[in-house]
Amino acid sequence: MTVTAADLRERVRDLLAAHPPATTDRAAFLNARFDAGLAWVHYPEGLGGLGADPALQAVVDAGLAAADAPDNDPRRIGIGLGMAAPTILAYGTEEQKRRFLRPLWTGEEVWCQLFSEPGAGSDLAALGTRAVRDADGTWVVDGQKVWTSSAHLARWAILIARTDPDAPKHRGITYFLCDMTDPGVEVRPLRQITGEAEFNEVFLTGVRIPDSHRLGEVGDGWAVARTTLMNERVAIGGARIPREGGMIGRAAHTWRTRPELRTHDLHRRLLDLWVDAEVARLTGERLRQQLAAGGPGPEGSAMKLAFARLNQRISGLEVELLADEGLLYDDWTMRRPELVNFTGRDAGYRYLRSKGNSIEGGTSEVLLNIVAERVLGLPAEPRDDKDVPWKDLAR
């Protein structure tokens, strides 16, 4: 049966009548919303959705917002929603979907992503974290991950590890769901140029993962990881922001409130960036529609690349606009924020934080290769490691 907007409005009314937001516990309301199929309407029935057109999610969101109903704080659980959930939906068993999707969506369980490694650089497929199957079928994982957002808050992680060092680097990887509370998982803060430690290093020493927490086939982890990565780039580069939101909003505010700082050259450059920011915002909206219609394509890499470059240009202009004042920094106190705040604090913070945009979620160099090969159809870069076993690669 085709689900219509009218059907969803009726379901929202029924949910609000049975669970009035003013008198219902937040967690209870979110669980009831999930059970009503109003969490993500395009997901299957029984998994928080109704198999509806994803564009109809806006009908649900508007109805619940008008009633001041609690939401699931998507920013706080962005890795779970934007990366773990679509991968589990695409590759998970029915048991995995039913175990993980509900607490992921309600925010009862926070997720992180154990992909990047210090020894692999920008070549994620060169990862060296090993997973070896024990006699009882359990996987034993040893290695180190880095640049891990939310690891200090997470209950679960999506993890890729090498299970066949004799295979070429892209073919000997397997994808797992790792319990961050298990023995052998150690999380250490990684202090950044901003003074904060929103990222972490994660050390894995003899961590035991049951085979039931494997996602996809053994040795097929790279294909599974690509689903995660494409969703990640849309999640980072295509975040929904209002017109003149984000970095450009802060720079424009400074321009409007500090007329003594204005010059003709800065005015021209600010206008150029304002137009670029609006183009990026509308392109992000189109990418989200594409994502909802059937999955992200390689165009998400171009969006994330544009997001990084634009943030750095805008934050640089704002520091330049403020002249000596732009060189001041408010506070180097070590913090471990729960959320990344790209536009928070002062102009110096925004300038320094934007440097990380070129690294997180795929380096700009890697994304350029993806755009060249998979969007523009240009010849791939010459590679001498394509059919070489991982264990024989120079490191």
Q: Quick: pLDDT tens for 174-204.
A: 999 999 999 999 999 999 999 999 899 999 9
Give the C-alpha separation, 21 to 70, whole Å.
Answer: 7
Which residues lie below 8 Å from residue 345, measured CB to CB, with a gap of 6+?
A: 330, 331
| DSSP 3-state of 208 | strand
CATH class of the domain at 239-376? mainly alpha
Give the C-alpha separation, 318 to 277, whole Å.
Answer: 14
Where does residue 244 fall: left (phi above 0), alpha (psi -120 to 50 degrees), or beta otherwise?
Answer: left
Are 295 and 230 a contacting pair, CB within 8 Å? yes
Cβ count near 165 (within 10 Å): 14
Give the C-alpha separation, 81 to 87, whole Å.
Answer: 10
Note the residue count of the chain: 395
- Helices 5-18, 26-35: inter-axial angle, 10-degree rounding: 140
Q: Which fold has domain 111-218?
A: Butyryl-CoA Dehydrogenase, subunit A; domain 2 (2.40.110)
Give the C-alpha separation, 291 to 293, whole Å.
Answer: 5
> Which residue carries 């505010």 as its tokens?
253
- Which one of the listed residues 117, 196, 232, 318 is annotated catalytic? 232
Residue 267 burial by Cβ neighbours in a 10 Å radius (0-12, 13-18, 19+): exposed
Give the C-alpha separation, 34 to 43, whole Å.
Answer: 11
Per-residue pLDDT of the chain (395 residues; tens, 9 = 90+): 789 999 999 999 999 999 999 999 999 999 999 999 999 999 999 999 999 988 899 899 999 999 999 999 888 898 999 899 999 999 999 999 999 999 999 999 999 999 999 988 778 889 999 999 999 999 999 999 999 999 999 999 999 999 999 999 999 999 999 999 999 999 999 999 999 998 999 999 999 999 999 999 999 999 999 989 887 776 666 567 788 888 999 999 999 999 999 999 999 999 999 999 999 988 888 877 776 666 667 777 888 888 899 999 999 999 999 999 998 998 888 988 887 778 888 999 999 999 988 888 778 888 888 889 888 899 888 777 778 899 988 77
Active site residue 232: yes
Name the CA radius of gyration of the chain, rounded: 22
Give the C-alpha separation, 326 to 316, whole Å.
Answer: 9
Could you give the C-alpha distances from 21 to 61, 87, 137, 200, 202, in angstroms and in order? Answer: 14, 31, 46, 36, 39
Pairing outcome for strands 185-190 and 173-179: unpaired
Give the C-alpha separation, 365 to 374, whole Å.
Answer: 14
Are 140 and 132 a contacting pair, CB within 8 Å? yes
Residue ranges of domains in the chain: 5-71, 111-218, 239-376
Nearest to 39 by CA among 55, 60, 13: 60
* pTM for the full predicted model: 0.87
Give the C-alpha separation, 131 to 143, whole Å.
Answer: 9
Distance of CA 238 to the CA centre of its chain: 10
Q: How many CA atoms lie within 13 Å of 129's alpha carbon, on the beta-carbon side?
A: 29
Nearest to 60 by CA among 37, 38, 32: 38
Which residues lie below 8 Å from residue 237, measured CB to CB, with a gap of 6+?
A: 284, 287, 300, 303, 304, 305, 306, 307, 308, 361
The single-letter code of the amino acid at 66 is: A
